[in-house]
């Protein structure tokens, strides 16, 4: 899936551009969610009007990202691009009013879930088209228990679960306790994996910076989660303070998953079982 051939700096720059545009769409979507905030008992008319405006631009930005993803998929010529494109199309369909009005909770949770997959595929495309990827892996034998390749699968999986639990809480499908408890597991797993990689392979050109980036983003995300929870206690749910912290929390959550997926891909690229071929 990730065995990219040749060197195409333009494709890498295009993937980075698509990822940045996707962040804009995510921010706009987070603003819509925060202004509408279904957990609010009586949202103000001003918030509803603002939400409608941002929703329009969110749909526009999302549509542009899907079109850009089509070009990226054609350039990648691999399963990764087509998986991302399908996730983006399905995500856009779930965001349509006809579906959200019919199945508000389920469609919103699936919309958040597929948005993570979509964004993760775009960021992964940027990783596998980078110059460092083209130079080939810096092999590490997987002799640890639990294996690093197993942990590489666990990291993005538990982050994806966390973002889905967050969406379920925002739409009253689950209580906040599940989101908080899983946040502790996410933080513990990521810090253990990141610290291990940083300490054991301090000179590794790919794993160390990726692990450090994930640890920093995750720490910020946990801090924003606590801040958002406190803001919801202290201020009205559609107040500016709550909206700002909620938007930052949702956006950083997407960045956390993307960083976790990027680290996972790099681990599978560089960490090999003894005697196994150096392929993802």
Q: In this predicted model, what pLDDT tens digit does every residue of 134-143 receive, in sequence order?
A: 888 888 887 7
CA–CA distance, 63 with 68 (Å, rounded to integer) = 9
CA–CA distance, 257 with 260 (Å, rounded to integer) = 5
CA–CA distance, 134 with 172 (Å, rounded to integer) = 45
What is the chain's pLDDT, residue by residue, as a tens digit (280 residues)? 555 554 578 999 999 999 999 999 999 999 988 887 654 444 555 566 777 888 889 999 999 999 999 999 999 989 999 999 999 999 988 877 645 655 677 888 899 999 999 999 999 999 999 988 988 888 888 777 788 888 999 999 999 999 999 999 888 888 889 999 999 999 999 999 999 999 989 999 999 999 999 999 999 999 999 999 899 888 887 788 888 999 999 999 999 999 999 999 999 999 886 655 544 4
Exposure b/e, 129-145, CB count within 10 A at least 16 = b: bbeebeeebbebebeee
Contacts of 49 (CB under 8 A, 6+ apart): none
Dihedral angle of Cα 144, 148, 149, 155, to the nearest 10 degrees: 150
Q: Tell me the CA end-to-end span of the chain in Å, nearest whole number.
A: 8
Alpha-carbon torsion 225, 175, 179, 246, what sign?
negative
Q: What is the DSSP string of the chain?
A: -----S--HHHHHHHHHHHHHHHHHHHHHHHHHHHH-TT-SS--HHHHHHHHHHHHHHHHHHHHHHHHHHHHHHHH-SHHHHHHHHHHHHHHHHTSHHHHHHSHHHHHHHHHHHHHHHHHHHHHHHHHTSHHHHT----EE--SSS-HHHHHHHHHHHHHHHHHHHHHHHTTSS-HHHHHHHHHHHHHHHHHHHHHHHHH-TT-TTHHHHHHHHHHHHHHHHHHHHHHHHHHHHS-TTSHHHHHHHHHHHHHHHHHHHHHHHHHHHHHHHEE-TT--S--
pTM greater than 0.85 (yes/no):
yes
Q: Are 158 and 264 in contact (CB under 8 A)?
A: no
The separation between CA 13 and the C-alpha centre of its own chain, rounded to angstroms, equals 19
Q: In this predicted model, what pLDDT tens digit does every residue of 189-213 receive, in sequence order?
A: 999 999 999 998 999 999 999 999 9
Q: How many residues make up the chain in this entry?
A: 280
In Å, the largest CA–CA distance within the chain is 64
For the chain, the domains span 9-272
């Amino acid at each position: 899936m990730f065995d990219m051939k040749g060197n195409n700096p333009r494709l890498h720059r295009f993937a980075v551009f698509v990822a940045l545009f996707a962040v804009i769409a995510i921010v706009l979507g987070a603003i819509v969610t925060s202004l509408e905030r279904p957990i609010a008992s009586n949202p103000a008319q001003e918030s509803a009007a603002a939400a409608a405006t941002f929703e329009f631009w969110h749909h526009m930005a999302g549509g542009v990202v899907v079109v850009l993803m089509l070009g990226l998929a054609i350039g990648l010529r691999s399963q990764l691009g087509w998986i991302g494109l399908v996730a983006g199309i399905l995500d856009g369909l779930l965001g349509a009013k006809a579906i959200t009005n019919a199945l508000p909770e389920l469609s919103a949770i699936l919309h958040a879930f597929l948005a993570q997959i979509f964004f993760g595929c775009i960021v992964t495309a940027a990783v596998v088209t980078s110059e460092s990827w083209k130079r080939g892996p810096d092999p590490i034998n997987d002799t640890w228990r639990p294996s690093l390749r197993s942990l590489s699968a666990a990291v993005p999986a538990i982050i994806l679960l966390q973002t889905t639990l967050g969406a379920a809480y925002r739409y009253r499908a689950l209580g906040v306790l599940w989101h908080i408890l899983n946040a502790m597991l996410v933080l513990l797993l990521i810090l253990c994996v990141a610290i291990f990689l940083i300490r054991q392979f301090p000179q590794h050109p790919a794993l160390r910076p990726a692990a450090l980036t994930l640890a920093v983003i995750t720490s910020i995300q946990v801090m924003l989660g606590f801040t958002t929870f406190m803001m919801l206690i202290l201020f009205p749910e559609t107040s500016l303070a709550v909206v700002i912290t909620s938007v930052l929390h949702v956006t950083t959550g997407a960045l956390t998953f993307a960083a976790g997926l990027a680290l996972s891909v790099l681990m599978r690229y560089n960490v090999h079982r003894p005697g196994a071929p150096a392929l993802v």
